[in-house]
């Protein structure tokens, strides 16, 4: 066993004096792999489910057992190697030895993690108090489940042991087992009203995202739930449905988020391509884009456009999203929403059906007449990620659903979960784009993509299980080797391929599956790199250079080299005959880019004008 890495604290480094209840932990920031290439500071410890538990169990000095590490090292290969070495060795500091504990999703992206002064066995036992995380075989999903313990608390509501009852997840399948509820449970009208009070809302939320002990998921409003306040579902498969009776567990629910009215949806470039490819009128897509750009430009000129935009959006805050993402490639859908999905609380929805009822200002006759909706999850890449569902809001017998507003209620009787068919989404907090615009609903849909692991991946996972690979070591390696570079490279290649050949092309279908594998770590990184290189080589060997003969697989930042990209796309389209609907749409989008070139990016003049205008509303 290698020696622990020793971290020396300078005498000048002292914890700051904070308010009562505030705690500070050592934060070691590595800037290189040399012996002294690090700095040490004290950082305020955010309150999380894990810290609340440790405080209750170990007393007010619990934070002395914790330490934070951040690896700010380049190149990436050096960072991965050094990070893994440090975590495997452990840290010696203040007469204590610290070992890898875990990280939140945000910390993972910043290459930061939390260590604890405890043995590997004790750390394993600690995390086991919150759930059997080892039962989740997908490393990415397992990391996200553990990550909830390290995520900052939001709004807390007290919940006594007698006020909840855990139910099992609904699972079934013939050739493949599916989980239809994904930890999605129910809440009583009383509990929903408490959420409304705590968040100071002027409406009763129909769906909320919560964390409670070892459970994380959605809760949907169920009008006839009276015996308890909350009825969550246990997401750990193949285990008894119990919540640990540990008396040190926090007796509150952490409400992460809630359903909202008026959250209109935007069609991004991928959605536009997929819808056009599925037969949606390109003229209608062009009209949406032109109308959206015109609306934004008019907001700088007259109050009527301001009021109309805010009426569509419901609140001003969402303008920040557009500022950061730019205008090009984003179409505001007036007849659309972005909502959470939940499972059917009454079990009446049949195959291919859903219940959806958005809050609409003034006259809602336009939605009342709707019979179908198109559902897409962002991101989406495969033609089969676009789904069409039948509405039941006007059908007799569904009166119980009337208070379920601004969320998408999905059936639990389908052969495959509806959320799963949208790039393998789930009901654990995923949002979905929903539109009742009849001109956006494709007349036909494709079979969903099969994102199941490859045979090689299954064999590799089976081998790991047969060797009883320590799951703590798995999570350590996951953190050390985590990188978003491979997904970025694959997405960059996908966008070039989709632009040149359409999202239904064989290459795009292959890339969409690779994107899922890369994002969820269901395939080895080296295998994906090799497959990507082979795909690029195959494309380059074709006549005309393929879709990326002279391109790096690195993704381009938005707005860079627009003219060069435009030239390549036009050249590619000239080689294809006859002209397709999607090629016409792409050309129209490029014309719109030229027209709105000055209003694309954060900080440009149009946004400065909009900001000034909004400040006086």
Give residue 593's pLDDT.
Answer: 43
- pLDDT for 17 equals 76
Whole-number Å distance between alpha carbons of 221 and 329: 35
Residue with tokens 């769906």, as numbered in its chain = 207
pLDDT at 575: 44
Residues with pLDDT less than 50, the chain = 236-243, 315-317, 320, 465-469, 548-578, 589, 592-608, 610, 613-614, 617
For 501-550, give the DSSP string. H-TTSHHHHHHHHHHHHHHHT-S-HHHHHHHHHHHHHHHHTSGGGTTTTT
Per-residue DSSP letters for 545-585?
A: GTTTTT--SSPPPTTTTHHHHHHHHHHHHHTSSSPPHHHHH
Residue 35: burial class (beta carbons within 10 Å; 0-12, 13-18, 19+): exposed
Give the model's pLDDT for residue 218: 94
Q: How far apart are CA 361 and CA 238, in angstroms?
A: 45
Closest CA to 7 of 94, 102, 111, 84: 94
Q: Would the CA dihedral through 181, 251, 188, 404 be positive or negative? A: negative
* pLDDT tens digits for range 275-292: 999 999 988 988 888 888
- The Cα-based distances of 195 to 154, 204, 206, 216, 275 in angstroms read 12, 8, 10, 17, 37
pLDDT at 560: 39
Q: Give the separation between CA 5 and CA 209, rounded to whole angstroms.
A: 40
pLDDT in the model for residue 238: 45
Burial of 327 (0-12, 13-18, 19+ CB in 10 A): buried
| Residue pointed to by tokens 């798995």 | 474
- pLDDT at res. 46: 94
582, 502 Cβ separation under 8 angstroms: yes
Q: What is the pLDDT of residue 306?
A: 60
Is 350:413 a contact under the CB 8 Å cutoff? yes
Phi-psi region of 392 (alpha: psi -120 to 50; beta: other; left: phi over 0): alpha
Q: Residue 613, SS3?
A: helix
Closest CA to 507 of 543, 537, 551: 537
């Amino acid at each position: 066993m290698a020696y622990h890495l020793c971290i020396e604290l300078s005498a000048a480094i002292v914890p700051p004096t904070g308010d009562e209840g505030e705690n500070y932990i050592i934060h070691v920031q590595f800037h290189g792999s040399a012996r002294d290439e690090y700095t040490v500071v004290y950082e305020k410890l955010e309150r999380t489910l894990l810290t609340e538990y440790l405080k209750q169990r170990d007393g007010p000095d619990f934070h002395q057992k914790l330490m934070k590490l951040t690896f700010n090292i380049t190149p990436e290969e050096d960072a991965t190697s050094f990070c893994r070495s440090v975590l495997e060795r452990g840290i010696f500091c203040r007469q204590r030895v610290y070992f890898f504990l875990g990280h939140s999703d945000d910390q993972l992206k910043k290459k930061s993690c939390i260590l604890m002064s405890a043995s590997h066995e004790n750390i394993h036992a600690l995390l086991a108090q919150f759930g059997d995380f080892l039962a989740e075989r997908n490393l990415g999903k397992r990391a996200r489940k553990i990550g909830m313990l390290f995520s900052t608390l939001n709004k807390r509501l007290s919940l006594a042991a007698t006020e909840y009852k855990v139910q099992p997840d609904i699972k079934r399948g013939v050739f493949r087992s599916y989980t239809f509820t994904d930890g999605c449970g129910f809440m009583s009208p009383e509990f929903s009203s408490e959420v409304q009070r705590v968040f100071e809302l002027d409406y009763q939320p129909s769906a909320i995202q919560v964390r409670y002990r070892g459970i994380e998921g959605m809760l949907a409003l169920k009008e006839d739930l009276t015996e308890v306040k909350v009825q969550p579902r246990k997401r750990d498969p193949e285990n008894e449905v119990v919540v640990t009776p540990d008396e040190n567990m926090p007796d509150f629910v952490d409400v992460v988020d809630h359903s909202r009215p008026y959250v209109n949806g935007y069609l991004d470039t991928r959605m536009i391509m997929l819808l056009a490819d599925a037969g949606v009128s390109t003229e209608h897509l062009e009209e949406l884009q032109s109308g959206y750009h015109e609306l934004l430009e008019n907001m700088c000129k007259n109050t009527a456009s301001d009021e109309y935009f805010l009426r569509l959006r419901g609140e001003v805050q969402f303008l920040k999203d557009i500022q950061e993402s730019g205008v090009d490639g984003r179409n505001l859908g007036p007849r659309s929403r972005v909502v959470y999905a939940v499972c059917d609380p009454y079990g009446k929805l049949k195959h291919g059906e859903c219940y959806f009822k958005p809050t609409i200002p003034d006259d809602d006759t336009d939605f009342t007449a709707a019979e179908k909706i198109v559902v897409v999850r962002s991101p989406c890449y495969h033609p089969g990620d676009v789904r069409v569902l039948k509405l039941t809001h006007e059908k007799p017998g569904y009166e119980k659903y009337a208070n379920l507003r601004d969320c998408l209620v999905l059936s639990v009787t389908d052969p495959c979960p509806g959320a799963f068919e949208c790039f393998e989404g789930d009901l654990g907090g995923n949002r979905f784009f929903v539109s009742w615009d009849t001109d956006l609903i494709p007349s036909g849909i494709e079979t969903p993509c099969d994102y199941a692991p490859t045979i090689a991946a299954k064999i590799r996972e089976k081998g790991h299980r047969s060797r009883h690979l320590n799951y703590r070591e798995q999570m350590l390696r996951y953190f050390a080797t985590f990188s978003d570079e491979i997904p970025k490279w694959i997405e960059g290649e996908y966008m070039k391929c989709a632009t040149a050949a359409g999202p239904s092309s064989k290459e795009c279908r292959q890339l969409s599956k690779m994107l899922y594998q890369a994002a969820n770590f269901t395939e080895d990184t080296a295998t994906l790199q090799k497959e990507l290189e082979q795909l690029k080589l195959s494309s380059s060997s074709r006549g005309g250079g393929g879709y990326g003969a002279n391109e790096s697989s690195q993704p381009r930042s938005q707005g860079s080299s627009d003219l060069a990209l435009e030239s390549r796309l036009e050249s590619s389209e000239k080689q294809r005959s006859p002209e397709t609907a999607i090629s016409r749409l792409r050309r129209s989008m490029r014309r719109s880019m030229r027209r709105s070139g000055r209003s694309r990016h954060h900080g440009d003049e149009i946004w400065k004008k909009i900001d000034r205008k909004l400040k006086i509303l």
